[in-house]
Amino acid sequence: MDYKTLKDLPNVKGVPILVRLDLNVPVQDGKVADDYRIRKALPTVNFLKSKGAKVVLLSHIEGDVKSLRPVFERLEKDLPISFCDDVLLRGSEYVATMAAGDVLLCENLRMYEGEKNNDQDFAKKLASLGKIYVNEAFSVSHRAHASIVGVPRILPSFLGLQFEEEIKNLSLCFEPKHPFVFILGGAKFDTKMPLVEKFLNIADVLIVAGALANDIFKARGLQIGKSLFSDSKLNLANHISNPKIITPTDVVVLAADGARVIKNLEEIKPEDKICDAGPQSIKLFKTIIAQARTVLWNGPLGEYEHGFKEPTLKIAESIAGTSDAFSVVGGGDTVAAISELGMEQRFSFVSTGGGAMLDFLANETLPGIEALKR
């Protein structure tokens, strides 16, 4: 292991520590709607606080919400914390007044152009606020941003508690217990092709669902109507008849007359849009999952964000009910399904990452991990 963890920390009482978190959580009506990532970050924050460090939290948030203040208000429920609205102008002033064990949340890093550009001057300004750096932002460590790869090149750097768990549990999927079932949903087959290629050599079954399945249907010469598919030329010749790859045998489509199940995929019409896997598919998938010793799942089976939830929820229930299997799940909508069912504790490991999880599985490292190596 070429990086250090919190077990390797020196005496940090009174030492300002920059902690990169991923607090990019959904906010509705000014309130945090899903606090999963916040809850997963708290053990590292509390650990450093208990050691007497001055804990300076860095994060970003994107979308319609531009400020981390709703996240600050959520964090206030768990620990005493202050808020700095401009890390560059007032960050050093706040840090100077902090006492041992104090916690400070700095405003959205995406306010600054130097963050996404990994500008070295910006990284140096961030680094000047601390003496040590801790990365507890696995879910954005596939991005070469200043707070992810720039700062750890300047300061002594360590992995957070959750980040360490991510590496440990995801790495178990490289040498899994068999039968090993990998369920891959969502979209963008072109970006997930390296993952498919790699795990075809590791998994016993690769269930491909969601918009990814539409690409395979299309390659098989089936009509997919108005369904989502990858807007690039993919060579799926080696995948359309691979016995390891299982796709839905029936689908739920949406057309002008509403949603309906199509049992024969050859009956899909040009005006249809495939939105989910059908009931026979779910029955098949559940049978496969029941026999597994290892299950890895990323991505919903349908357009979860548009209300097509039932098959994804049923798969979550099926995996949770396979008590003998080591189960690893991740991805925004996937985790949302698990949270909706209140089943987080019934999976062996729930990853905080979506794209980062997939990149780590494909490459066995991330830019944020490489930046910590000495």
- Rounded CA-CA distance 256/289 in Å is 35
What single string gives the DSSP state of each residue in 227-270? Answer: ----SS----TTTTT-TTEE--SSEEEEETTEEEEESSGGG--T
Q: SS3 of 137, please?
A: coil
User: How high is the pLDDT of residue 31?
Assistant: 95
**pTM for the whole thing?**
0.92
Q: How many domains does the chain have?
A: 2
pLDDT in tens, 110-124: 999 999 999 999 999
Regarding whether 247 and 110 lie in a shared domain, the answer is no
292 and 207 within one domain = yes
pLDDT in tens, 58-91: 999 998 899 999 999 999 999 999 999 999 999 9
Which residues are known to be catalytic?
37, 188, 332, 355
- Residues 196, 112, single domain; the answer is no
Task: Please report the pLDDT score of residue 135 as a whole number.
Answer: 98
Q: What is the pLDDT of residues 209-231, one digit of tens each?
A: 999 999 999 989 999 999 988 87
Q: Are residues 348 and 201 in the same domain?
A: yes
* CA–CA dist 57, 277 (Å, integer): 41
136 and 259 share one domain = no
Does 211 share its domain with 141?
Answer: no
Domain boundary residue, one of 94, 125, 159: 159
Q: Is the pLDDT of residue 1 over 70?
A: no
Same domain, 113 and 178: no
Report the 3 state secondary structure along 71-100: HHHHHCCCCCCEEECCHHHHHHHHHHHCCC
Each residue of 175-217: pLDDT tens digit?
Answer: 999 999 999 998 888 788 889 989 999 999 999 999 999 999 9
CATH number of the domain enclosing 137:
3.40.50.1260
Q: Which domain holds residue 235?
A: 174-363
pLDDT of residue 342: 84
Please report whether residue 65 resides in a domain: yes
